[in-house]
Amino acid sequence: MKQKKSIINIPVVLRMMGWLLMIEAAFMAVPLLTGIVYGEESSVKAFACSALITCGAGALMTFGIRPRDTDMHRREGLLLTASVWVFFSLFGMLPFLFDNALSSITDAFFEAMSGFTTTGASVITDVESASHSVLMWRAIMNWIGGMGIILFTLAVIPMLNHQGGIQLFNAEVTGITHDKLRPRISQTAKSLWLVYVLLTVLLTVLLWVGPMNAFDAVCHSFTTVSTGGYSTKNASIAWWNSDYVEIVITVFMFLGGINVALIYTALSGKVSALYKNGTVRWYVGIVLLFVAVCAAYQLYNGTFEKLSDIFTCIAAITSTGFSVANYDNWGPFVILLLMVLMFCGSCAGSTAGGAKIDRIIFLIKNTNNEFYRVLHPNSITTVRVNSKVVPNAIVMKVIAFLCIYLMLFVTGGIVLTALGLPSIDAMFASLTALSNIGLGSGITGPEGSFAVLPDAAKWVMSWYMLVGRLELFTVLIILTKGFWVK
Amino acid sequence: MKIVIAGAGEVGSHLAKLLSKENQDIIVIDNDESKLMNLDMYNLLTHVGSPTSFKTLRDADVAEADLYIAVTPFETRNVTSCAMAKSLGAKKTVARIDNYEFLRSENRTFFETHGVDFLIYPEFLAAEEMMTALEKTWVRNWFELCDGQLIVVGVKLRESAKLVGKKLKELYSLSSSLHISAIKHKYETVIPGGNDEICAGDIAYIATTKDYVDRLLELCGKEQLNVKRVMIMGGSRIAIQLARLAGDRYKIKIIESDLEKCHKLAEKLPDCNIVHGDARDIDILHDEGIEEHDAFIALTDSSETNILACLTAKEYGVKKTIAEVENIQFIAEAENLNIGKVINKKLLASSHIFQILLDSDSSNAKCLALADAEVAELVAKEDSRITRADVKDLHLSHDMTIAGLVRDGVGHLVQGNTRIQAGDHVVVFCLSGAIHKVEKLFN
C-alpha cells in the first residue's frame, strides 16, 4: 500500500497559491497603468513595488516548491480556497500601505478583505483624496472577488482542469448545490466569467453615456456587477444626484443578485428559464414587498424620497451597499427591515452575499411541512424547489447553515458591543460583515465610517467577511480538529 | 471530444471517470439520480433522465456529441437510445449488447441503417480473452498485431526467469529483439529506464517479434501448458459464451449453485458437464476431480469468491486459473496473489471505447486496457508529429513509450534512432490518463 503521508498535502497547496499570487500581481498592473495615465508618481511606485513583491513571492512558491504528489483532494481544496482569500488580502493591502492611503496594517487588511469579499465597507475616510490608482485597485478587488478568485483561475489555468478543480469550485462558489454548465470545469468557469465580463462592459458603457466620466464608469461598473459597493466618491452614488445613474445601477445590482449560471442559460436563448425559476420569482417578490413596505411607512411618516427606497432596498438585498440617502433618518423600523433583507441575500450562485434566498425558501417550505406533519404524523412530505424534490440531506444542511449563520451573526454583534459599539450599530455591523453588504448604521453609517471602529473590531469584521463570503463551511471546517487528523 | 454516456452503471461510471481523466468532455445520463451523485465530484456533467427520451437527449446536447455510448443493462434500450441519438445528430454511436446474434456480419446492416455504429459485448470480449489465456497459458496478457508479427505480452516473472535481477541496459545489450515497455512492481506500473531492474514477482510487459516468442518463453523461465480439461465455477453469461467459443476444443465442466440455472445451462450447452453444487465446497471439487483439470475459471458475481476459489484450485495443483474480478481495486491484489489471469468486463469495454476514440475511422486498431495503463495500436498519419523526428528526439513524456511497429507486414522493435513513417502500425504503451497525448502525436 501507499506510504503513510501527512494528511494534508501542504506543498501542493503552496505551489498553487504561488500561481494565484502571480495572477494577483498581474491584476495589479491595471492600477499601475491607471497611475501612469494620470501621472501619479508615488502611486505608480507603490503599485510597482507591490506587484513585484507579490509576483516574487508567487514565483518563489511555485518554482521553489516541487511537491512529490500533485494530487489535490478534498482537504487540500478547502484549505487552498480558504487561505487564498487571506493571502490575496495580505498582498492586496500592500498598495494601500505603500501609497499612504492607509497607515495601519489593520486598516489596510480590513480594506483589502472588504474589497475581495465584495463587502465594500471602507475605512478610507476621504476616498476623493485617494489617488486614481488606489480607487481603481479597490474596484478591481471587488470585481475579482465578486465572481471568485478560484473561479477565475479555473477559467485561465488549464492545470486545474481535473478532479481537484471540482473541489475548489464547490468550496468557493456560493449556493447549496452547484450547477455545472458544461462538462469540464474550466468551460463552466469560462462561461460564468463570460457573462460577468459582458455585464461589466455593458454597464460601463451605460454609465459612461450618462453623467459619469470614463474612470468613474469603469470603477462603478466593477463594483456594481460584483455587488461589492466601493465607490470613488465620499457620498457614494448620491454624489451624481442623477436619476439615470441610480436607475441603471439599480438594474445591474439586481442582475448581480441573480444566479450567474441562470443568466448564462437565458443569454444562450432560453429566456424562459429566468422567469420560470422559483428562486428568481421569490427574489423579485421579496424586493417588491420590502420596497412597498418601506415606501408606505415613509409616506406615512413624510420622509418619502422617490427612488432612494428602491435603490437602498436593492443595495441591501444584493449586498452591494451603495448608498444614495441617509437611511439612518428613516427610523429604526426601516433599519430593521434592511437587516432582514441583508440577512436574506440574493439567489445562490450569484455574486451577492447573505444567507441566500434559496436557503430561506427551503427553510420556509420545510417549516410548512413540519406544521403539516403535526396534524398528519404519518404523511410523507417533500421539499420541492423548481419542481424538483430536494433530498433530505440537503434540507438538513441548509438548516444547519442557517443556524450557524444566525449564531455567528448574534455572537459577532455581542463581541462588537463588548468592543464599545452601540447595540443596534454592533448588530448591523456584524451582519454587514457576515453578509458582505458594506452598509453601516449609526456610527458606521452614511454619516459615520468604519474607520472609527477599534482595531479589534476591524479584525473581527475582516474574519466575518471571509467566513460569510465562503459560506461558512469552507472556512469553519478548517478550524475543526477532524480536518487535521484523520 | 464530446462524449455522452447513457447509463451510470458499473461500465458507464468506469468509462466516465476514465474518459474525464483523458480530458474529454463527458456528459452522463441516467434515470437514477443517486447513481449520478457519486459521479458528480468528477470533472464531468451529469443529467437525470431516461436515455430513451428525446427531451433528455436534447437537453444533454447529443446533437453536438462526437460519440454516444449507451451502456444501460438493457440491450434493446441501448440500441433504441443509439438510434435516437444518431437521429438527433450524434456523430458515432456505441451500444452495449448481450446477444451474439447481433455481432454477426449478416446483421451489421440492420444496425448501420438504424444508426448504431459500434457494438460492445463485454461478455463476449471476456470469453475471447479467456480463450487466448487458455491457449497461451504462460502469459497474463497477450496483445498481437498483424497476425502476430508484433506481440506484447504481460508476464509475471519468478526467481527462475533469466530476466530477473538484470538491469535493462544489460538485457538490451544481450539481445535486441525484446523491448521491456513497462514493469508492474507491487502496486505501481512504471515505464522503465535503462538503469531499472526487474525483480522477482514483477509483471513485465514485453514487446517482441514473431520469431522470438519461443526464446522469450525460455528467458521468462515459463513453459507452455496444453490445456484439455477446464472447470468453470459459476454458470454466468460469460461462461456460456466461453463454452460456445471453445466448442469441442476443451472438455468443460461447469459448477453452478442455482438448480434452475443448471437446467438452463444443460439445455443450452449439451457438450458440457453441468454440476449442481457450490464450488466453494471442497468435497464437491474433489468429487468432480479438480486435480485432473488443467484450468480453473471462477466466474461468479462475487470477486472475492472468485479470487479465493482460484487460490484453492491452485492448492489442488491446477496449473492455470482465471478469476473474474469486477472490483478494479482488487485487480492489483489478485495479480500479486498467484492467480494466473484476471478478467474484468469494465476494462474490456473501455479497451473497446479507447479503440474507437483513437481511430474512429477504421475498426482494425486494437487497444488493451489494463488496470492502470493502456496498450494501443495506432497508425501513424501523414505528417503527424510522431513522424517528424527520430524517437529519441521526440521528447515523449514519461508516461508513454513506443514498443514496436509493423511496417509492410513485418514487425520491428523500436530503438532510439528509429524514425516512424506514415502508415506504420505502432504499438504504444501508456499509463492511465495519457492516451489523449498519444492521440495528439499521431493525428
DSSP string, B83-107: HHHHHHT-SEEEEE---HHHHSGGG
Task: Note whether A365 contacts B: Cβ–Cβ < 8 A.
Answer: no
> What does the alpha-carbon distance between residue A303 and residue A232 come to, in Å, rounded to a whole number?
27
Mean pLDDT of chain A: 86
Per-residue pLDDT of chain B (443 residues; tens, 9 = 90+): 889 999 988 888 888 888 888 778 899 999 888 888 888 878 888 888 899 999 989 888 888 898 999 999 888 999 999 999 999 988 889 999 888 888 888 888 888 888 898 888 888 888 988 888 888 888 888 888 777 788 888 888 888 787 787 777 777 776 677 888 888 887 788 888 777 888 888 888 888 888 888 888 877 877 788 888 999 998 888 899 899 888 888 889 999 999 999 999 999 888 888 989 888 888 888 888 888 888 999 999 888 899 999 988 888 888 889 999 888 778 878 877 878 788 888 888 888 887 787 765 555 567 777 777 888 888 877 788 888 888 778 777 778 888 888 888 788 888 777 888 888 888 888 887 777 777 777 77
Which of A74, A154, A162 to mutate to test binding with chain B, by most B CBs within 10 Å of its CB?
A: A162
Domain B229-318 CATH (choose: 3.40.50.720, 3.30.465.10, 3.20.20.120, 1.20.120.140): 3.40.50.720
Chain-chain contact of A163 with B43 (C-beta, under 8 angstroms): yes
pLDDT of residue A412: 93
pLDDT digits (tens, 9 = 90+) for A303-330: 666 677 778 878 888 888 787 777 777 7
pLDDT of residue A30: 92
**Nearest chain B residue to A167, by CA:** B41
> What does the alpha-carbon distance between residue A280 and residue A274 come to, in Å, rounded to a whole number?
7
Q: What is the DSSP letter of B197?
A: B
Please give the C-alpha separations between residue A12 and each of A54, A60, A86, A410, B434, in angstroms, as whole numbers.
19, 13, 17, 37, 21
pLDDT of residue A411: 94
pLDDT of residue A4: 47
Q: How confident is the model at residue A6 (pLDDT cuts 50, 70, 90)?
A: low
ipTM of predicted assembly, 2 dp: 0.75
pLDDT of residue B360: 56
DSSP B327-385: -HHHHHHHHHTT-SEEE-HHHHHHHHHHHHHH-SS-S---EEE-SSEEEEEEEPPTT-G
Number of Cβ within a 10 Å radius of residue A447: 11
pLDDT at A346 over 80: yes
Residue A214 CA, distance from chain mean position:
25
pLDDT at A368 over 60: yes
pLDDT digits (tens, 9 = 90+) for A88-108: 999 999 999 988 888 889 999
Domain ranges of chain A: 324-484
- The alpha carbon of residue A161 is apart from the nearest alpha carbon of chain B, in Å, by 8
> What does the alpha-carbon distance between residue B232 and residue B321 come to, in Å, rounded to a whole number?
10
Nearest of B112, B100, B64, B77 to residue B6 by alpha carbon: B77
Lowest mean pLDDT among A71-85, A190-204, B168-182: B168-182
Query: Which residues 166-205 in chain B show a CB within 8 A of chain A?
Result: 187
Nearest to A161 among B27, B43, B187 (CB): B43
Query: Could you tell me the CATH superfamily of domain B354-442?
Result: Regulator of K+ conductance, C-terminal domain (3.30.70.1450)
pLDDT at A2 over 70: no
Task: Note whether A166 contacts B: Cβ–Cβ < 8 A.
Answer: yes
Report chain B residues whose CB lies below 8 A from the CB of A166: 41-43
Kindly state the percentage of chain A with pLDDT values over 70: 97
User: A-B interface: how many C-beta pairs under 8 angstroms?
Assistant: 34
> What does the alpha-carbon distance between residue B353 and residue B368 come to, in Å, rounded to a whole number?
10
Nearest to A183 among B27, B41, B187 (CB): B27
pLDDT of residue B359: 67
Q: Is A181 helix (H, G, I), strand (E, B) or coil?
A: coil
Number of Cβ within a 10 Å radius of residue A373: 13
pLDDT of residue A261: 87
Higher pLDDT, A160 or A155: A155
Give the contacts of A303 (CB within 8 A, at least 6 positions apart).
A329, A330, A331
> Whole-prediction pTM value?
0.81
Chain-chain contact of A166 with B21 (C-beta, under 8 angstroms): no
Chain-chain contact of B23 with A161 (C-beta, under 8 angstroms): yes
Please list the alpha-helical segments (H only) found in A181-326: 185-209, 214-225, 243-256, 260-267, 272-276, 278-301, 308-317
Nearest of B404, B320, B358 to residue B19 by alpha carbon: B358
CATH number assigned to the domain covering B2-120: 3.40.50.720
pLDDT at A406 over 90: yes
Domain ranges of chain B: 2-120, 229-318, 354-442
Which of B45, B330, B436, B437 to mutate to test binding with chain A, by most A CBs within 10 Å of its CB?
A: B45
Q: What is the DSSP letter of A416?
A: H
> What does the alpha-carbon distance between residue B107 and residue A117 come to, in Å, rounded to a whole number?
63
pLDDT digits (tens, 9 = 90+) for A214-248: 899 999 999 999 888 888 888 888 888 888 888 88
Domains B229-318 and B354-442 share a fold: no
